[in-house]
Chains A and B, each alone.
Chain A
């Protein structure tokens, strides 16, 4: 292996000389300890290396080993259910071999080399295959059929295909290609900084349902779409991300805990094996990959972690799955970028972030999308990306927030004030937006209800009016408002408290299906309409507000997912108003 020599060490940045021949983003190993690093700048024979581990004790004159290969991940069966650090080292294996603390210079294969998988061939001898075609499949977990695909760049005729139990190092197929015979194993490697190829990109048109009422009904994200959740600390970014990881109807979840709290990762690890996916009834861990590079783990590996996660997510998308990637938090990734950039003495842009921050963020989110995958069956896959952003002081003019908003289509604005009132999820309904409504309109009308969009529209309008009326009430007092306007205030309060407010820790409230969301909202709006009518008929606001059925409306969210209960309340609203209107006549 080619070797260079260290000439400078400054925290996570190491500079080495005698590195001619090294390429940008090649992986290197530092000193006899074998710390892993990546080349991020070349200058004459000098290489600037960001090191993914603590560099204490490393000094000039020590060797740098050039591997000549880019930093890559292994893609194959065994990924699901794993927990990796930022450069795909298996943290569970590290723990069983090295103890409770992460030490340095650990080199372990990401995928289990011993485990035998039951390989079922999907092609026959003599068949022509091209990149992306399924050679066979293994049952990775009861939820996930892992398709072994022909790697990018290989095409030809199947000479041999096996069936039975193999480990990932064993050969399962041989393909006669133009460049000779190629042996296929069950895993491949891919550079984390390179997009995986697709056949064609499509427009997203199906919602990614999350079971969170404010998201699904008001600000939906599409399968293959992008969203960002910026907010100050304590506003519930992480809970939103966890809720999405738990309840969204993606088939595969990749959760990247990037520079965040260790205890939050522990929470995921301990709760996911017990939590059941509402769509399949299986433990959530059977569809989840966790990348954990907590805030105290090396900074440079944090920078790599979101790319590692993205590459794994793309790999499952290529199999035709709907994948969702959660990155919590992209600000920590940007800070890692800034730290390395500062050590390299680059000219800083805004807030000390490097000038290429915006383009890096755009590149990252652009890897999301709904696609036709490679492979002759023209299957479709989708990769949705949801990034949390933690702006300093909750200030949305922060460069990371602004660069992110330029590329994502859904903005869930978390609001400190709502969080202080313990209104969770603290998503501000006036600031947030979703640009996917037009795309998924058709789906919602066909699959949920014809009037779903209309009811959503009316809800948004009520909330908008509420904020205007509140402004007036604040200036001149509630008395100055007409009864009709005060009913609007009451109805929007009901929307906020009985519909938008959702308790992530309540067993029933934590997840609401689209159908139930529709029924709930329809009942609230129906009450509003009836109320307006009653006012016109000369009933007083107090009479309407004190109707007993309102307590039932407020308890709808705790009811089980049965249509009948919801419909019953809807009818009761009807009857109550009938009674009210008759009572004085």
Chain B
């Protein structure tokens, strides 16, 4: 039923060039049958009257020029969805990986999706309690936000992500929710960690996993996060669920994109990544959000490992420009043996302001947050100073800040992997630490809250 082409002229990296084609469309899904009878899939990246450039998802290993048969399928890559998708594990191309049956699709969805009309967006304002003080207290997450974890190799981002998936809840509400997990280029052990954690906590029953492991074709990674997000859109906007999407590891995704770009001999941007990396990442990240009049929501936590902990690396940098803040992990705090090693100073949640305060968390939240930031920043400055001059040379007030920074890391940042602190506990803990600083130094807090929460005798 489809025309078969035997006119492959060139195979380079993940790309196949097919000549003498007719009626091929941009973005079309392609099926390639190699000489040994194996099927692979790909999509059209560039088409002209003479030839089409096809990117092959499964890689071009073992393909040849003369025997490969190419079929153009007349549609773009799709994901079949139904309620039964929940609780299942798929590979990076959307095929079942858990020995379960194929999904009988109620709907076929294009995996690239369409942009949400900005006019249809509802502003995220529901506070999600993750039970982690450095997130809830300092960089609160709200429903519909995209908040990445910026990590480095060897840091416990997987444990933190799993803890968030386990503990995340909206205060005072019982609602349908689901976790969608997209793993790109991660190791078997890392994937297994998540599966086991989800299984042990019963979260697997309301999770959907798409896994492309490190030894699976890199090009498949281009599709994996899109499959996960398409699935999330279905759960959120068709089935009214609150969906938390975790994507690990965006660094491997971007590297796969670079591989294709290099094979196409495109003019590279920074560090060899294609100039359109921003747009490409945005086309995924921006799928998170809320829509007016819909119950469900998509909250997105992409995780990326920054090469050499460098946040100016293009992947981290461009991600930071698209997402609504970032949670930054710190090797320094990790070395001190503190879990969760989140460095609050360079971390940020842009959407916090509408998600906190009276009726959502507590009236004093915003002020306490700002004050803790300011005190900790000053404490760290004092710490640097003490390193050079010795602690004795510090002014009295700076000594107080210095000890505040230590206390902050030891009591506020440090917590158990299975410890879920309520936001009230977190804020009270913040006040307890602020009591070590004289009242007139606390300029970021409104007088009425100082009156209420800061008692001299403590």
Chain A residues close to B by CB (< 8 Å): 7-11, 15, 54-61, 83, 91-92, 94-95, 99-103, 232-234, 238, 257, 259, 261-263, 265-267, 269-270, 292, 294-297, 299, 332, 335-336, 338-339, 342, 348, 351-352, 390, 392-395, 416, 419-422, 474, 477-479, 497-498, 503, 505, 550-551, 554-555, 558
Between B47, B112, B312, B377, the greatest number of chain A beta carbons within 10 A of the residue's beta carbon is seen for: B47
B25 on the interface (CB 8 Å rule)? yes
Bound-state Cα–Cα, A495 to B346, Å: 24
Could you tell me the distance between the alpha carbons of A265 and B321 in the complex, rounded to whole angstroms? 15
With contacts A91-B119, A265-B118, A295-B282 known, is A57 near B28, CB below 8 A? yes
Q: Is the CB of A92 within 8 A of B119?
A: yes
Tell me which of A94, A419, A497 contacts B443 (CB under 8 A): A497
Once A91-B117, A332-B278, A554-B443 are accepted as A-B contacts, the answer to whether A478 and B395 lie under 8 Å apart by CB is: yes
Can you list 20 A-B contacts with CB-CB less than 8 angstroms, sorted by A residue number?
A11-B276, A56-B112, A59-B26, A91-B117, A101-B120, A261-B322, A266-B122, A296-B283, A335-B278, A339-B279, A342-B267, A342-B275, A342-B276, A392-B270, A420-B346, A422-B374, A477-B389, A478-B395, A479-B393, A505-B353
Contact call B345/A9, Cβ cutoff below 8 A: no
Contact of A263 among B112, B123, B311, B395 (CB under 8 A): B123
User: 19 extra interchain contacts, Cβ-Cβ under 8 A, other than A59-B28, A262-B118, A421-B345?
Assistant: A11-B26, A57-B76, A59-B24, A59-B47, A83-B119, A101-B115, A101-B120, A234-B320, A261-B322, A262-B121, A263-B145, A265-B118, A292-B119, A296-B283, A296-B285, A339-B276, A342-B266, A416-B346, A551-B440
- Residue contact B278 to A10, C-beta cutoff 8 Å: no
Chain A nearest Cβ from B48, distance in angstroms = 4
Q: Which among B27, B112, B237, B324 has the highest number of chain A CB atoms within 10 Å?
A: B27
Cα distance, A503 to B313, chains bound together (Å) = 31
The answer to whether A297 touches B320 (Cβ under 8 A) is no
B118 touches A292 (CB 8 A): yes
Distance in Å: Cβ of B452 to nearest Cβ of chain A: 16
Closest A residue to B398 using CB positions? A478
A-contacting residues, B250-272, CB 8 Å: 266-270
Beyond A56-B76, A393-B312, whether A10 also contacts B26 by CB under 8 A is yes
Tell whether, in the assembled complex, residue B443 and residue A296 are in contact, meaning their CB atoms are under 8 Å apart. no
Which residue in chain A gives the minimum CB-CB distance to B26? A9
Chain B interface mostly:
mixed
| A92 surroundings in chain B (CB, below 8 A) | 119
B393 to chain A, nearest CB (A): 5
Cα of A503 to Cα of B353 in the assembled complex, Å: 11
CB contacts between A and B, total, < 8 Å = 217
With A and B bound together, what is the CA distance between A332 and B286 in angstroms? Answer: 15
Do B443 and A101 touch (CB < 8 A)? no
Residue pair A351, B269 in contact (C-beta under 8 Å): yes
A60 touches B49 (CB 8 A): yes
Chain A residues closer than 8 Å to B377, beta-carbon distance: 420-422
Shortest Cβ distance from residue B24 to the other chain A in the assembled complex, whole angstroms:
5
B326 to chain A, nearest CB (A): 7
Q: Is A101 touching B317 in the complex (CB atoms < 8 A)?
A: no
Q: How far is A415 from B59 in the complex, measured between Cα atoms in Å?
A: 44
**Residue B215 at the chain A interface, CB threshold 8 Å:** no
Pairwise interchain contact B47-A91, C-beta atoms closer than 8 A: no
Within the complex, what minimum Cβ distance (angstroms) separates B109 from chain A? 11
Q: How far is the CA of A393 from the CA of B289 in the complex (A)?
A: 26
B276-292 contact mask (Cβ, 8 Å, vs A): 1 or 0: 10110011011101011
Q: Which residues of A contact B320 (CB under 8 A)?
A: 232-234
B15 → A minimal CB distance (Å): 13
B187 within 8 A of A: no
Select B279's contact among A102, A299, A479, beta carbons within 8 Å.
A299
Are B286 and A296 closer than 8 Å at their CB atoms? yes
Determine if A55 and B275 form an interchain contact, defined as CB atoms under 8 angstroms apart: no
**Quick check: B115 and A102 within 8 Å, CB to CB?**
yes
Residue among A57, A83, A295, A395 making CB contact with B286, cutoff 8 Å:
A295
Given contacts A392-B317, A393-B312, contact A102 B117 (CB under 8 A): yes
CA separation between A477 and B309, bound complex, in Å? 32
Taking A56-B112, A94-B117, A335-B279 as contacts, is the C-beta distance between A8 and B47 under 8 angstroms? Answer: yes
The verdict on B116 contacting chain A, using a C-beta distance below 8 Å, is: yes
Among A57, A99, A101, A295, which residue has its beta carbon within 8 angstroms of that of B322? Answer: A295
Q: Compute how far the CA of A91 lies from the CA of B118 in the bound complex, rounded to whole angstroms.
A: 7
Given A57-B28, A83-B119: A296 in contact with B287 (beta carbons within 8 A): yes
Residues of A within 8 A of B266 (CB): 342
Please determine whether A262 and B289 come into contact, CB atoms closer than 8 angstroms: yes
In the complex, A120→B114 CA distance in Å? 44
Q: Is B456 an interface residue (CB 8 A)?
A: no
- Point out the residues of chain A lying under 8 angstroms from B24, CB to CB: 59-60
A202→B350 CA distance, assembly (Å): 40
Cα A194 to Cα B122 in complex, Å, equals: 36
Interface residue B370 (Cβ < 8 Å from any Cβ of A): yes
- Is the pair B26, A555 in contact by a Cβ cutoff of 8 Å? no
CB distance from A257 to the nearest CB of B (A): 8
Inter-chain CA distance A52–B374, complex, in Å, is: 45
A297 / chain B contacts, CB cutoff of 8 Å: 115
With both chains docked as a complex, state the minimum distance between the C-beta of B435 and any C-beta of chain A, in angstroms. 18
Measured CB to CB, the closest approach of chain B to A570, in angstroms, equals 20
Interface centre among B26, B114, B122, B266 (most CB of A within 10 A): B26
Cβ-defined contact, B25 with A59, below 8 A: yes
Q: Which of B220-240 contact A (CB under 8 A)?
A: 237
Is B276 in contact with A233, judged by CB distance below 8 angstroms? no
The B415-446 residues at the A interface (CB cut-off 8 A) are 440, 443-444, 446
Whether the pair B373, A392 counts as a contact (CB closer than 8 A) is no
Query: A335 touching B275 by the CB < 8 A rule?
Result: yes
Q: Which residue of B lies closest to A31 (CB)?
A: B25
Q: Nearest Cβ in chain A — how far from B225, in angstroms?
A: 13
List A contacts of B213 (CB < 8 A). none
Write the nearest CB–CB distance from B170 to chain A, whole angstroms: 18
- B46 at interface, CB cutoff 8 A: yes
> Residues of B contacting A58 with CB < 8 Å?
25-26
Beyond A91-B117, A101-B115, whether A263 also contacts B346 by CB under 8 A is no
Return chain A residues, CB-CB under 8 Å to B322.
261, 295
Chain A, Cβ-Cβ closest to B287: A296
Q: Which of the listed residues A232, A419, A422 has the most CB atoms from chain B within 10 Å of its own CB? A: A422
The answer to whether A102 and B114 have CB atoms under 8 Å apart is yes
State the CA gap A261–B350 with chains docked (Å): 11
B366 at the interface (CB under 8 A from A): yes
Taking CB as reference atom, which chain A residue is nearest B277?
A335
Q: Which residues of A contact B286 (CB under 8 A)?
A: 261-262, 294-296
- Smallest beta-carbon distance A342→chain B, Å: 5
B23 within 8 A of A: yes
Whether B118 contacts A59 by the Cβ 8 Å rule is no
* Residues B317 and A56 in contact, CB atoms below 8 Å apart: no
A158 to B93, CA, bound (A): 69
Contacts of B27 in A (CB 8 A): 55-57
Cα of A393 to Cα of B313 in the assembled complex, Å: 7
Most buried by B among A266, A332, A477, A550: A266
Q: Is B124 an interface residue (CB 8 A)?
A: yes
Q: Complex formed: what's the CA distance from A267 to B46 in Å? A: 37
Residues of B310-331 at the interface with A, using a CB-CB cut-off of 8 Å, are 311-314, 317-318, 320-322, 324-326
Min Cβ gap B296→A in Å is 12
Interchain CA distance A293-B312 in the complex, whole Å? 25
Q: Which residues of A contact B326 (CB under 8 A)?
A: 233-234
Known contacts A338-B269, A351-B270, A270 near B123 by CB under 8 Å: yes
B282 touches A392 (CB 8 A): no
Closest to A239 in B: B350
- In the complex, the answer to whether B446 meets A339 with C-beta atoms within 8 Å is no
User: How near does chain A come to B18, taking the closest CB pair, in angstroms?
Assistant: 13
The answer to whether A101 and B440 touch across the interface, beta carbons within 8 angstroms, is: no
CB-CB nearest in chain B for A238: B350
Q: Tell which of A9, A257, A478, A555 touches B46, judged by Cβ atoms closer than 8 Å.
A: A9
Q: Are A421 and B373 in contact (CB under 8 A)?
A: yes
Q: Which residues of B contact A335 (CB under 8 A)?
A: 275-276, 278-279
Residues of B within 8 A of A338 (CB): 269, 275
